Amino acid sequence: MSRTRYRVVPNGSVWQLRREQASLSNHSIKADAVDAGRRVAKANQPSQLIVHKADGTIEAEYTYGGDPYPPQG
């Protein structure tokens, strides 16, 4: 089963929560976008939340549901 990927990305003067290329919501504060992303990702497991920095690089990744531990390999 594949994971649905959600991203918090900068978009001009706002932070945008996206699923694939579709915009789900816009937030003026990054923390609000991350909170919204966590709620959506937890509600739609298995999923992954990828948080980007203002320069577009990845800051953090969170996985929800079906994450095998210990990892194989």
pLDDT surpasses 80 at 69? no
Q: Contact at 8 Å (CB) between 59 and 73?
A: no
The pLDDT of residue 66 is: 78
Residue 72 lies in a domain: no
User: pLDDT tens-digit profile of 8-62?
Assistant: 999 999 999 999 889 999 999 999 999 999 999 999 999 999 999 999 999 999 9
Of residues 17 and 69, more confidence is placed in 17
Q: Residue 68 has what DSSP assignment?
A: -
In a domain, 53, yes or no: yes
Q: What domain count does the chain have?
A: 1
Domain that holds residue 28: 4-64
Please check whether residue 33 is in contact with residue 8, taking contact to mean a CB–CB distance below 8 angstroms: yes
- Say what the pLDDT of residue 2 is: 84
pLDDT at 68: 64
Phi, psi (degrees; rounded to nearest 5) at 63:
-115, 145
